[in-house]
Amino acid sequence: MHVSITSQTMLPHQYRVQRVRQETPDTFTLELHPMSEASAIRFVPGQFNMLYLFGVGEIPISISGDPRKSPTLVHTTRAVGTVTKAMRGLRKGDILGVRGPYGSHWPIASGVGRDIVIIAGGIGLAPLRPTLYSIVADRDKYGRVILLYGSRTPIDILYRRELESWRSRFDLEIYVTVDRALKSWRGDVGVVTHLISKAPFDKQNCLAMICGPEVMMRFAVMELLKRGVPDDRIYISMERNMKCAIGLCGHCQFGSLFVCKDGPVFPYPGVKDLLSKWEI
Amino acid sequence: MENLERLLADHPFLAGLPKDHLELLVGCASNMKFNAKQYLFREGEEAEKFFIIRSGKVALELYVPGEGAITIQTLGEGEIIGWSWLFPPYRWRFDAQAMEQTLVIALDGKCLRTKCEGDHHLGYQLLKRFTDILEQRLQAMRMQLLDVYKNT
Ligand SMILES: Cc1cc2nc3c(=O)[nH]c(=O)nc-3n(C[C@H](O)[C@H](O)[C@H](O)COP(=O)(O)OP(=O)(O)OC[C@H]3O[C@@H](n4cnc5c(N)ncnc54)[C@H](O)[C@@H]3O)c2cc1C
Ligand code: FES
């Protein structure tokens, strides 16, 4: 995607918090509305915005809402550090700076006529949720639609009610597993990659999209390849620290790639050599 | 018996085994049914069998002092439970409890050990298959140990 670099690109628009939802003990969702129609943001699934908490800092967060519900923006964030923890304190009516959308997107169009396999780990479900909204809205265009979701424990499962409602549909296959659980949990226990070998999809005619911690993505790719999925049918979403988000500062450099403008969504063959190295 | 032979022959775990080996396995195999909450085996008991799940779901559990029973993995249709019958001291290292009504093919480990000692080709074929399962479980365990979702 070509980005023309003007001061406008770097300028955040003001958005008002419409709703705050606590998803899990450390993860919350903000629903934001632009303060002027002119600053409404249209996005495609997989893209991210830079969210600016005035006086605290600016961070990249994927857009996790429904692209058809523009201009409302939805962001799900895990509180891990300075900015995200301060953001957790936002309430309805508070104002936030937003610039974007940035980056590449999930190649949903190339999944038409194929089985869709979405593999998410932890907060990685957030950047993939818009793809599910888009696919569900155009359900007839795709083969089987399968979500494999792994979370740390049952209380860390994101979007639980939505997962339950998707699971109750006959045309979506939703598998959830947790890494550890007390005996009272009746669902699956085991790593998300364990689900890959059992999931019913056409390995030759599918589109696989993965988002989660890098280690989990590496293991997931290995399982998909072992199952016989061609590597050019696999896409992953990468994270790196960011500052400008428009390919200027080099903060997000990943080998010769810039995660902010060449990614965050990459076809696996383009990053496989980088992915196997620990720190780049 | 014919039914068991077909079930074993069709299972991916045993794919490629020659007919005479399958016949030996059938001699050590039996169908078993476990109701929900019934234990297939308990930690510390003698590991006399391994199981191929035909239907249902089984939780592998460890008792952690102070925390109670923790589920370390759940296994379902087509999956294999148990390799402790292969290695001394032939004791289970965890509990396995049916989470719902579960049908399994149970293979008698003692009977198999004797047959493997007498036929090293069969022994090698079985070890190869169990090593593959062990490798998968080891990878999974590594990911669990890394606690990958903790700091994302
Ligand atoms: C393209 C992109 C999309 C993202 N989308 C989301 C999203 O939808 N939801 C979400 O919750 N997060 C997302 N992130 C991660 C998010 O940007 C970081 O968690 C955030 O920048 C941390 O800022 P902080 O000031 O709160 O933490 P800091 O004070 O900067 O760091 C605190 C601690 O968190 C760790 N940390 C910081 N950044 C990350 C990271 N990216 N991954 C893992 N650990 C980190 C640090 O190592 C440190 O230990 C995304 C990142 C990128 C690059
Ligand atoms: S964040 Fe500045 S180049 Fe990517």
Percent with pLDDT over 90 in chain A: 76
For a ligand 1 pocket test, name from A47, A78, A80, A253 the mutation site with the most ligand atoms within 8 angstroms of its C-beta: A80
A176 plus A129 within the same structural domain: yes
Residue with tokens 């239907």: B55
Residue to mutate among B74, B95, B136, with most A CBs inside 10 A, is: B74
Query: pLDDT (tens digit, 9 = 90+) per residue, B112-142?
Result: 999 999 999 999 999 999 998 998 888 888 8
A131 plus A199 within the same structural domain: yes
Is the pLDDT assigned to residue A8 strictly greater than 60? no
For residue A2, being part of any structural domain is answered with no
- Cβ–ligand 1 distance for A127 under 6 Å, the answer yes
**CA A136 to ligand 1 center in whole angstroms:** 29
Higher pLDDT, residue A198 or A72: A72
A65 plus A158 within the same structural domain: no
Per the structure, how many domains does chain A have? 2
A15 plus A57 within the same structural domain: yes
Q: What is the model's pLDDT at position A20?
A: 97
Confidence label for B1 from pLDDT (cuts 50, 70 and 90): low
Among A78, A102, A126, the domain boundary falls at: A102
* CA separation for the pair A141, A122 (Å, rounded): 28
- Cβ–ligand 1 distance for A237 under 6 Å, the answer no
**CA A38 to ligand 1 center in whole angstroms:** 29
Is the pLDDT assigned to residue A38 strictly greater than 80? no
pTM value is: 0.91
Query: pLDDT (tens digit, 9 = 90+) per residue, A170-180?
Result: 899 999 999 98
Q: Name which of A122, A128, A27 is nearest B149 in CA terms.
A: A122
A66 plus A116 within the same structural domain: no
Q: What is the residue type of A83?
A: V
For A188, nearest residue in chain B (alpha carbons): B74
* CA separation for the pair A45, A130 (Å, rounded): 5
Averaged over A250-272, what is the pLDDT? 90
Residue A121 and residue B148: Cβ atoms within 8 Å?
yes
- Cβ–ligand 1 distance for A217 under 6 Å, the answer no
Q: What topology does CATH give the domain B2-150? A: Jelly Rolls (2.60.120)
Residues of the domain holding A203: 108-275
For residue A264, being part of any structural domain is answered with yes
* CA separation for the pair A73, A63 (Å, rounded): 7
| Closest CA–CA distance from residue A139 to any residue of chain B (Å) | 29
Among A102, A122, A141, the domain boundary falls at: A102
Comparing A31-45, A140-154, A266-280, B51-65, the range with the smallest average pLDDT is A266-280
The residue ranges of every structural domain in chain B are 2-150
A226 plus A269 within the same structural domain: yes
| Interacting residues of A192 by C-beta distance below 8 A, sequence separation 6+ | A119, A120, A121, A148, A149, A150, A177, A212, A216, A220
A49: domain CATH number is 2.40.30.10
A122 contacts in chain B (CB < 8 Å): 148-149, 152
Query: pLDDT (tens digit, 9 = 90+) per residue, A159-209?
Result: 999 999 999 988 999 999 999 888 888 899 999 999 998 899 999 999 999
Say if A123 is an interface residue toward chain B (CB within 8 Å). yes
Handedness of CA B41, B46, B47, B49 (dihedral sign): negative
A136 plus A255 within the same structural domain: yes
Query: pLDDT (tens digit, 9 = 90+) per residue, B3-36?
Result: 888 888 888 888 888 988 998 899 899 999 999 9
For residue A26, being part of any structural domain is answered with yes
A38 plus A98 within the same structural domain: yes
- Cis peptide bond N-terminal to A71, omega within 30: yes
Residue A213 and residue B73: Cβ atoms within 8 Å?
no
A82 plus A208 within the same structural domain: no
A149 plus A16 within the same structural domain: no
A243 plus A212 within the same structural domain: yes
Among A54, A86, A102, the domain boundary falls at: A102
For residue A1, being part of any structural domain is answered with no
A197 plus A257 within the same structural domain: yes
Percent with pLDDT over 90 in chain B: 48
Q: Name which of B120, B46, B41 is nearest B81 in CA terms.
A: B41
